[in-house]
Structure 1
Amino acid sequence: MRRINWYSIRLVMVFFVMIFLYSFSSKRNSVRKINKIDIQFDSKENMFLTHQMVNNLLIQNLGDASRLQKDKVDLNTLENELSHHEMIEKAEVFSTIDGFLNTRITQKTPILRVISDNDSYYLDRKGDRISLSTNFSARVPLVVGEISKEKRKSYLKLFNEIKKDDFLSKNITGAQIMPSGNMVLTNRSFDYKIAFGKPINVQKKLRNYKAFFHHAIKDTLIKEYKEINLMFTQQVVCKK
């Protein structure tokens, strides 16, 4: 008489039980309703948006989230809608087993604020426009004048260099774009103007300015300077 292999039978039974439990839990999870929206920002800086503003954006696309089943929520659509907001650089949306809809927001980081005759706005490191916010005012250089789309890339290079340098980001407070395209920068510490010229040879000019400042700060004459000219890349010309 053939002997029954109970070990194999138990394995098969365990396998089918696991499939049943997985199917059962998946079904229950899919019909579970969204019971809470959790919103987190990746940084406490540049808080253009509030939790309530993001929550409102989600509700506009979700409707009454408390009545929605998890499997009815299109996470990709939500991410795309949030990511297209002018103040958001990146958005991640995902749900959890306990019915939480989690949203992670990376806000855009402004590097300058443009003030023209009829408009005022921020630009981020990529050149994307950010409208002014009633919730937050970024501490970035104020640029007076027009930045055309054709020349935007060269200006962005200058202000990105300023932004990533600890000394320059604290020292350079503003700029004026002249009709010729030349720029005059202002600094936080003294009354002199910085004749930067056109936004070319940016890194060389900024290195020259830093070298000048760290040397001149040791001399009381720096208070008498009216203009620091960086247009000649081989030297810094100072005028009293």
Structure 2
Amino acid sequence: MATRAEVESFLQQLLAPERFKDYGPNGLQVEGRGEIRKVVSGVTASLALINAAIEAQADMILVHHGLFWRGQDGRLIGWLKARVERLMVAGVNLFAYHLPLDAHPLFGNNARLGAELGLEADGRFGDQELGFIGPAGGVSSVQALQAIVQQRLRREPVLAAGDGRPLRRIAWCTGGAQGYFEAAIAAGADAFLTGEISEPQAHLASETGVAFLACGHHATERYGAPAVAAHLATSLGLTHEFIDIDNPA
């Protein structure tokens, strides 16, 4: 067992959210009971995850996508009221970490996605150095990379194949990081992986020759929250369960 204050202090030290300019608040978003025995991790604080965590008798939920974002209507009505009310009635704490969870060099989304795909970063790029880049290793072609992504992430990526060059350097940034493509190209990547693709990236891939793979926002961000939660549980003597609420996006 640990207190909520001990958990908050541990996560603050581990993820250092004060280092990031983010799109919403990082840390404790909904305050629940003061003593924590079980943590459930997940990608997004959806009502489905909240209900599943309560059924699993969690005292806290740790997610990547929390409830509050810059520019949203902050009134507790509709879907937001339903989620907050469910948490507060059940006394379950909600912790959310966005960019800090992407960036952590060992437990973050980018680090864990790289490990899942057999990639190891030796550099960073992009805004706040969130993008990872490293050698392609034994992945010699974009077709081989596409097959690895499909096997490991269990979904077929959208591919803009570039010019088919041999892969020497692969860059990646989880989630909605399609805007990092130009920075990845400038960093020397032969292929770039992220969660989503927008209209301009297909043209950039064709014109620069660098391959672009959109592997799914949710699919690329399944790994950071459970890695952090498992480390938290081991360190503070808690139990942990990862609940994956699938999302086609």
Q: Place the TM-score, normalised by the shorter chain, in its bin.
A: under 0.3
- State the TM-score, normalized to the length of structure 1: 0.22
Structure number with higher relative contact order (C-alpha < 8 Å, ≥ 6 residues apart): 2
Between Structure 1 and Structure 2, whose CA radius of gyration is higher? Answer: 1
